[in-house]
Structure 1
Amino acid sequence: MSDRWIEVAPRVWVRRLEELDQSVGLVIGDECCLVIDTGISAESGFALATAVREKTDLPWQVAYTHDHFDHWFGTSAFGESAIWAVGDGAHYVSVGDEQRKAWAARYRREGREEDARRIGATKLVPPNCRVSGAIGLDLGGRTVVLRQVGLAHSDNDMVVEVPDAGVLFAGDLLENGAPPSYDGAFPYEWPQAVEYLLSWKPAIVVPGHGDPADYWWARAQARDLAEIARLCGEVAQGFLSEEEALAHNPFGEAVMRTALDRCKALAPAAPEPQAPAAAPTPPPPAVVYEVFDYSVDLTQR
């Protein structure tokens, strides 16, 4: 598969990238356009920016669906622009530097020296416009909604809604053709977040990886996410064994194991055992006196 555009609604495009089977977005208004995620490196970002210019010469803004490297390492190719995200700039720089080093090392271990060079040389461009809750972004004749998700695939997920076209860009909350990734995820909260985001019934849902699909496909994956959450809860409560959950889940053993491990990592630490309390000191014995009669002569000195 080579990189290609798919028009999912009037002036709403999905760029299908061969690398990592990724889907990035382009929403065009009358005065501005919004680029949704930018790819894994400066070189892939340059290719994306060139492709965007084939569709429009309007000024662009950029939105990051979350802080995983493959969604924002290509932004240096877009020059000066507004960049929207849930996480702040300092957070993006910190986690981006860690991811850049880790993936460069991984590529070298795999003998992919050119890929290691590309990602190692990539300039990190953090967001400069922070999204809290939801904001409407006016592109001129068209308003898109940037919506903070809460805990789900990560702790800083954001989706992009195009209400007039019935399109939802879901980032990695949903994936088509591959199972969802639970590394760093929040298994119990994730399905609830997706159900809420689907409540307006978008006609087209664009996953972070894989082909665009419809509302009913997204609902089916939301149910599978809920099943993972249910299995994790039953294992945590002792109703199921880990082996049973690994054998009976919608995404396979490896994904289920990652979800179980993530739930263990998120579980509150057990309180440290306390030393047994000292036995209480018994009260002193009562002294019993016999009752006797007496009189006192107050006239005597």
Structure 2
Amino acid sequence: MTFDVFALRPHIIARMSDRWIDVAPRVWVRRLEELDQTLGLVIGDDCCLVIDTGINAEAGFAYATAIREKTDLPWQVAYTHDHFDHWFGTSAFGESAIWAVGDGAHYLRVGDEARKIRAASYRREGREEEARRIARTKLVPPNCRVSGAIGLNLGGRTVVLRQVGLAHSDTDMVIEVPDAGVLFAGDLLENGAPPSYDGAFPYEWPQAVEYLLSWKPSVVVPGHGDPADYWWARAQARDLAEVARMCGEVAQGFLTEEEALAHSPFGEAPMRAALDRCKALTPPPPPEPAVPAAQPQTPPPPVIVYDVFDYSVDLTQR
């Protein structure tokens, strides 16, 4: 259904610095000042797909208002993953299909925890209004689960929603627009900031990105920062692989942590986070085999000593 955001919140407007970037025919990127975030919009003949919705309800209303300047088609929503800044703005979009990896119960659980943590963080920074905004934001979990890959027909255009597997998170999903050569990568890739390894899977992450780039998209849209090209994405995939290699060498004792921190392609803080995450994911070593309890010793059998007599037999005697 089409949702009239103007009637609901006419006073909500986007920040003046927020802007649209036209990356392909009927494929748009919305660049936000807050968190340097990058959202997406893919327009078909019958409906449009909204890719991520922002950090709170107010940000979502501003985004929905901006979308209505581009199209009045009904929309569907896709979450690239479960981190709060990518889906807390969805209440602005009313009733719609919401696609994601992971079920609604998971999103509500992690979302409620993230909302409390973020509100407390804002208050510590003295940003009371931001704390109130996120605290009163209604969480809207996904209602359409993606497992594997799903082709979504927008009318005259099909986009592919693809489950990634373990990478930046365990709920990563990318959106491929094959007819436009565009890949929406979520936070698998970031432009202008290092990747976040909190809750990530450092060993699997670069492998996932390499696979997703195998169709060589012309435009790659990160979760934060400006869109870039295929070769930029390949360079970042190599850096992700270098972090994974160094984590493995530290675990095997070939490198010290200090050496890894000094030579990380992303800097010291992301490398430390990756090392800590690898330690957290490594199962503890198996326990040492138990030494069997000493059994009571039975006395050895007696040793019989035979006396040997030296004697001779006189065979002449009868």
Which TM class, normalised by the smaller chain length?
over 0.9
Does 1:259 find its partner at 2:296?
Answer: no
Letter in 2 for 1:199: S
Following the alignment from structure 2 to structure 1, what is the Cα–Cα distance between the partners of residues 95 and 217? 32
Q: Deviations over 1:256-277 (max 9, x none)?
A: 0000000000001122334312
- Report whether the alignment pairs 1:190 with 2:205: yes
Identity of aligned residues (%): 85
Q: Is the alpha carbon distance of 1:145 and 1:285 closer, same or farther for their aligned partners in structure 2, counting shifts above 3 Å?
A: farther
Number of equivalenced pairs? 289
The equivalent of 1:147 in structure 2 is 162
Q: CA deviation at 1:249?
A: 1.0
Q: Deviation per CA, 1:186-209: give whole Å up to 9, x if none.
A: 000000000000000000000000
Whole-angstrom CA distance in 2 between matches of 1:188 and 1:85:
23
Instruction: Report the TM-score when normalising by structure 2.
Output: 0.88
CA–CA distance in structure 1, aligned partners of residues 83 and 130 of structure 2: 17
What does residue range 288-299 of structure 1 map to in structure 2 within 5 Å?
none
Q: Which residue of 1 aligns with 2:257?
A: 242
Partner of 1:123: 138
Measure, in 2, the Cα distance between the counterparts of 1:203 and 1:41: 31
Deviations along 1:81-120, one digit per CA (max 9) or x if unpaired, are: 0000001000000000000000000000000001001000
Equivalent residue, structure 1, for 2:111:
96
| CA offset digits 1:200-228 (Å, max 9, x no partner) | 00000000000000000000000000000
Question: What secondary structure sits across from 1:135 in the alignment?
Answer: strand
The one-letter code of the counterpart of 1:203 is: S
Structure 2 residues without counterparts, runs of 5 or longer: 1-15, 307-318
1:58 equivalent to 2:73? Answer yes
- Aligned partner (choices 217, 222, 242) of residue 202 of structure 1: 217
AA aligned to 1:106 is S
Q: Residues of 1 paired with 2:37 and 2:295: CA distance? A: 67
Distance 2:290 2:153 in 1: 62
- Distance 1:278-1:8 versus aligned 2 partners, 3 A rule: same
Give the Å deviation of 1:278. 3.8
**TM-score, length of structure 1 as denominator length:** 0.93
Are residues 1:19 and 2:34 paired? yes
In structure 2, the CA distance between the partners of 1:286 and 1:7, relative to structure 1 (3 Å rule), is: farther
2:239 pairs with 1:224: yes
> Which residue of the partner structure matches residue 269 of structure 1?
284
- Higher mean alpha-carbon deviation, 274-283 vs 70-79, is at 274-283
State how 1:14-93 maps to structure 2 within 5 Å. 14-93=29-108
Displacement, 1:279?
Answer: 5.6
Look up the equivalent residue of 1:238 and give its one-letter code: G
Structure 1: stretches of 5+ with no match in the other structure:
291-301
